[in-house]
Chain A
Amino acid sequence: MSFGSPYVTLPRFSYLRPRSLDEAFEALEGGNAKVMAGGIGLLNFMKERLLAPSVVIDIKGIPELSGIRLSGDVRIGAAVRLVELEENRSLELIAPTLYRAVRQIADPIIRSSATLVGDVCEAIPWTDGPTALAALDASASVVSKNGERKVKVADLVQGLGQLAIDENEIVKEITFSSGYKKGTYVKFSNASEYALASVAVAYSPESGIARVSVGSLAEKPQVFTLEDAGTSPDEEVSAMIRKVSSYIESGLSAVDDILGSAEFKKQVAKALIIKAFKEVF
């Protein structure tokens, strides 16, 4: 993400690399501190002086934050880089929605240092991670020295740069049910790095629940089930698409921004629905 900056240097800051969560909590207590995972977003924001923390806390050395678990509920630690997800072929089978989203984030160089949790915490309306995770009904575990709480990823991202966590909290990991065995992620970008619109579909054949998340239209991903749109996986796919399309038209909000007009974004979202539904159902 870049808004353009006249600066070529970073503002002054001190750098800490705690070995445990407790150490990190303590560092956060000092105030004006920022957590850093891959640093891809943070350092850009700092270079642009949108953020100027006096302390940068690198969380990649904290053992509890690493690792991917695929048995039971899926768990992805905050220090897990996108490349680790991409290289995990089992993830493709267990959560194709997320796997495909990850592969479409930025480019291999950025994916080799950026984290999924960082992609979420950066809170940019056009990112892919939050949209895919919202479809999966994922939750974030938010920890601080006062304990741990769970927040739905869909509620975590509030708008551009706005995250529903306190300054002394850290997102420890993301979890979601491994039931969404079918799904996909389709993204449309044109004349921009970022998605002008994106559609994530997560479908659990066992429960019959199918969730759709539409990214980039507004400040945050908008999620609905097929039921909300008045249809179900049992219907003909073309009927599903028609109903979901009209749901997008009347039920979702969209705003004009630098990537496109609200009208056009909705049009693209509807086109993506066709592609996504063809793949999943």
Chain B
Amino acid sequence: MEENVVGKRVPQVDSWLKVTGTLRYSFDIELPGQLYVALVTSRYAHARIRSVDTSDAIKSPGIVGVFTGKDFPFRIGLYIADRDLLATNKVRWVGHPVAAVVGTSMAAAEEAAEKVSVDYEPLEPVLDVEKAIEKGAPLVHEDMASYNYYKGFINPVPGTNIANDFRLVKGDVSSGFAESNVIVEETFKIPQINHAPMEVQNVLAYWRPDDYVEVWTSAQSPFATRYLTAASLNIPVNRLIVHVPPAGGGFGLKAGIGWEPLAIMISKSLRRPVKLVLSRSEQMTSAPSRDGLVANVKAGFSKDGRFKAYEATFMMDAGAYADYTVNVARTTGYSADGAYDIENISVKSLAIYTNKIPTTAMRGFGHPENHWPLEQVMDRAADMLGLDPVKIREINLHVPGKSVRGTGEPVREYDGNPRGVLEALVKGIGYWEVEKPSEPWKVRAKGLAMLVKAPSQPPNAGASAIVKIDEDGTIDVITGTGSMGQGTPTSLAIIAAEAFGVPVEKVKVNQLEGVSTDQNPYTWQTVGSRGLYSDGIALLRAIEDAKNQIREMASAVFRVPKDDIEIRGGQVYPRTHPEHRLGLKDFAMGYTYPNGNTIGGPVIGRGSYAPVLNTFLDEKGHGHNTVFHTYGGTAVEVEIDLLTGEVRVIKVVQAFDVGRVINLLTLEGQAFGGFIMGMGSALYEEIKFDKQGWVLNPNLTHYYVPRITDLPDEIDAVFLETPQMDGPLGARGIGEHVMIAVAPAISNAIYRGLKVKLNEIPMNAERVWKAIKEQRPELISSAFEQALSRAEEIHV
């Protein structure tokens, strides 16, 4: 019997079902008599809807209903209720759903959808964040003043396109700049990108005859989906049952509130189950993507390399709806100082409405955005100061126990070891060694970037867990976290196995069957790298509760004080007399004496968790709003083709202070997968819009996510273990951190190798080639000559 599984490589508990194609996703669930929805979407980025003619569509064979915005005259949202279910009065982006055509088959619905005709009065669109905040810019939301929002958390500015205006102030930047010897001033950009999960969003909703509502949905956060949907639709929370089967990827897209309200309202109207499945192109145009960014930053350093002042304006392109991006902008702002001690900070972070695809959370949540400028500023400043990129980081990295974050939160002794992460990166990538390129017209270069991130969540983001012991001593763990490949269920199983001293196979985590809001205990959301930490703490408390129930009974059975009862190796025994032993199973349903008398009862442990001493942030961005911070970083070795601008990542080292390794296999999976995802956005991914706001690449052919052939030759992961004082077994979260530093690490490598600046992603071949051509044209011509002379050599 293997008892100590913590830190070993344990395959994910649902691996077998996945590789055999047996796992049931929400898409696989069907109800008799279910109806299908086809969406009619906007062809304009911004237009008033004069009328929608549905008369032909409704007569089409197999059609049972056609809905428009008029049918659902209300707004929904998470932090700001700015969304309509179907466009009301006007359309706000190309892809905005205008009508929903419902039929007895998907084919019938799609055929009828073509017959809906919409009369538009085009309005001037605003497609650029900088233009959107100019005076007199067209307004995307004229009625913002009437929207409900989370007061105390975000700050919308009605009469403008600003959905949230967040400020972070520390010290006084002007005196900081006055004391600086070197100033870096740059504009950095990030385009909107898509989450591109394998499983597109899909919902099956049924408004039952008893006025209970059941929903099966590909979502991340069953309880947030339930609460927000219920609140939006005026359904008592306990009458809405949200089933969330394992999802085929989420990456933030499926957090918050999605397509559930639309499917529910259609079902309410038609009293039949309704299935809504997006096509890939709808997923890429009608559903949300990640915010774009224009960041103007100014950074001042003293000649000994101290980071004196940082001033940044983040203009986040929230697209047409910002119900989640308002918090992304807030997060980008309050964590803009990254892993560094900066004496003076002034940050303005705006979520800005435009007539583009709405945006939402995505893995990293504001941190890929704010680390893209910050981590490049470090390398540029180092260069100007005659320092190296490692040295300047050593000078400015947080010192646990001493430093204070921009928000005023202290960097605690147990927050991790940023310096150790940096050392691991430098050593792992061989930062000081120069590698030979594969061809003379190519250049090898190495670069690195650091990161820190905490979950971005409200101060009351709680979690709970239940543990039950079964008749045979096997263990059921029930929590509310969704399962989308991230591995949390497996890690929770390991924690429970360790606590009871049973093999991990004896623990079942019921997320595998999907989470149901009427069966699973509450957890706020499956986001922010918080799952293992929050649910893990709740689980340990539930385990303690269950153990106490067993100790209670065992104390009577063994006639020893309760505190002397040990529960280990799946056995229960008096600490002082271990030869007297019983199994877990002997207490599972209460203990039964030989004469039939029974004490106790079925063991069911419960545990709850809520963040400790968290607060909102005040108008200066100050407060205590985090539960843990994970430090990490990425180092890369790249090869740049000077003739084509193509950048290939050759080798990668990912390093994180995870507190405690729970499952090495899934941890590595995160580190590798997250790198690849980060590399996709660094090198390839970009939603392309034309001047009218049309999406030019709403497909996975021209919106390119990395393929197996794009992968680096080598990816290594290093994990440091500075225990998180309150973390489960000392662990802290990691799910998002793995992609945050990737883009700046690659850009820093290019800068180090070529002294060519790349301030915008994706760093695709053309962009890199153009940057070289503008900044170092001589590199290209000499590479061409190199290539030719080499050609000659081969010829001879």
Give the interface of A toward B (CB within 8 A).
1-9, 11-12, 188, 190-194, 196, 236-238, 241-242, 258-261, 264, 267-268, 270-271, 274, 277-278, 281
Contact = CB atoms under 8 A, between A and B. Distances in A.
A4 to B, nearest CB: 3
Nearest to B113: A6
Max chain B C-beta neighbours (<10 A), residue from A191, A196, A278, A281: A191
B147 interface: no
Interface in B637-651: 641, 643-646
B699 A2 contact: yes
A241 B643 CA distance: 14
Given A2-B700, A6-B281, A191 B107 contact: no
Nearest to B284: A4
Given A4-B698, A7-B110, A238 B279 contact: no
A241 B788 contact: yes
B644 A3 contact: no
Contacts of A5: 279-281, 699
Nearest to A278: B791
Contacts of B787: 271, 274
A259 B106 CA distance: 33
A274 B643 contact: yes
Interface of B: 38-39, 41, 106-107, 110-111, 277, 279-282, 284-285, 641, 643-646, 683-686, 688, 695-702, 704, 762, 764-766, 769-770, 784, 787-792, 794-795
A264 B764 CA distance: 12
A4 B281 CA distance: 5
A8 B795 contact: no
Nearest to B680: A191
A191 B281 contact: no
Contact of A191 (B277, B285, B683, B698): B683
Contacts of A242: 788
A232 to B, nearest CB: 14
28 contacts: A2-B700, A2-B701, A2-B702, A4-B281, A4-B285, A5-B699, A6-B282, A9-B107, A190-B644, A190-B646, A190-B684, A190-B765, A191-B704, A191-B765, A193-B701, A196-B765, A236-B792, A237-B794, A241-B788, A259-B702, A264-B769, A264-B770, A270-B643, A271-B641, A271-B643, A271-B644, A278-B790, A278-B791
B361 to A, nearest CB: 24
A81 B702 CA distance: 25
Nearest to B684: A191
A8 B789 contact: no
Max chain B C-beta neighbours (<10 A), residue from A196, A259, A271, A281: A271
A5 B770 CA distance: 32
Contact of A12 (B107, B645, B683): B107
Contact of A6 (B39, B685, B702, B765): B39
B697 A4 contact: yes
Contact of B696 (A2, A11, A258, A278): A258
Nearest to A261: B766
A245 to B, nearest CB: 8
B762 A191 contact: yes
B423 to A, nearest CB: 34
Nearest to A245: B784
Contacts of B111: 11
Contacts of B791: 237-238, 241, 274, 277-278
A194 B702 CA distance: 9
B504 to A, nearest CB: 35
Contacts of A281: 795
Given A191-B683, A271-B641, 18 more contacts: A2-B700, A4-B695, A4-B699, A5-B281, A6-B279, A11-B111, A188-B644, A191-B685, A191-B762, A191-B765, A238-B791, A241-B788, A241-B791, A261-B766, A267-B643, A268-B644, A271-B787, A277-B791
Contacts of A9: 106-107, 110
Given A4-B281, A6-B41, A258 B795 contact: no
B110 A267 contact: no
A227 to B, nearest CB: 20
A185 B174 CA distance: 59
B795 A7 contact: no
Contacts of B766: 190, 260-261, 264
A8 B643 contact: no
B792 A238 contact: yes
B702 A237 contact: no
* Interface residue SS majority, chain A: loop
A160 to B, nearest CB: 14
A193 B707 CA distance: 9
Contacts of B792: 236-238
Max chain A C-beta neighbours (<10 A), residue from B284, B764, B788: B788
Nearest to A49: B114
Nearest to A2: B699
A190 B764 contact: yes
Nearest to A265: B766
Given A7-B110, A9-B107, A188-B644, A258 B41 contact: no
A271 B765 CA distance: 13
A4 B94 CA distance: 13
Chain A to chain B: the 6 pairs with minimum beta-carbon distance, closest first: A4-B698, A4-B281, A271-B643, A191-B684, A190-B765, A4-B699
Nearest to A192: B704
Given A191-B765, A271-B643, A271-B644, A258 B688 contact: yes
A214 to B, nearest CB: 15
A188 B686 CA distance: 19
Contacts of A3: 699
A38 B699 CA distance: 21
Contacts of B684: 190-191
Contacts of B282: 6
Contacts of A192: 701-702, 704
Contact of A8 (B277, B644, B688): B277
A272 to B, nearest CB: 8
Contacts of A7: 110, 279
Nearest to B785: A238
A230 B282 CA distance: 51
Contacts of B280: 4-5
A3 B696 CA distance: 8
Contacts of B790: 278
Contacts of A11: 111
A3 B762 CA distance: 21
Contact of B701 (A1, A237, A238): A1
A237 B644 CA distance: 20
A219 B7 CA distance: 56
Contact of A267 (B698, B762, B769, B788): B769
Contacts of A4: 280-281, 284-285, 695, 697-699
A240 to B, nearest CB: 9
A192 B697 CA distance: 10
B106 A8 contact: yes
A194 B697 CA distance: 13
Contacts of A278: 790-791, 794
B280 to A, nearest CB: 7
B67 to A, nearest CB: 17
A237 B106 contact: no
Contacts of B699: 2-5
A11 B106 CA distance: 11
Max chain B C-beta neighbours (<10 A), residue from A2, A8, A194: A8
Contacts of B688: 258
A54 B696 CA distance: 29
A237 B787 CA distance: 11
A258 B699 CA distance: 13
B792 to A, nearest CB: 5
Nearest to B792: A238
A253 to B, nearest CB: 18
Nearest to B281: A4
A196 B784 CA distance: 19
A190 B794 CA distance: 27
A274 B688 CA distance: 31
A114 B520 CA distance: 48
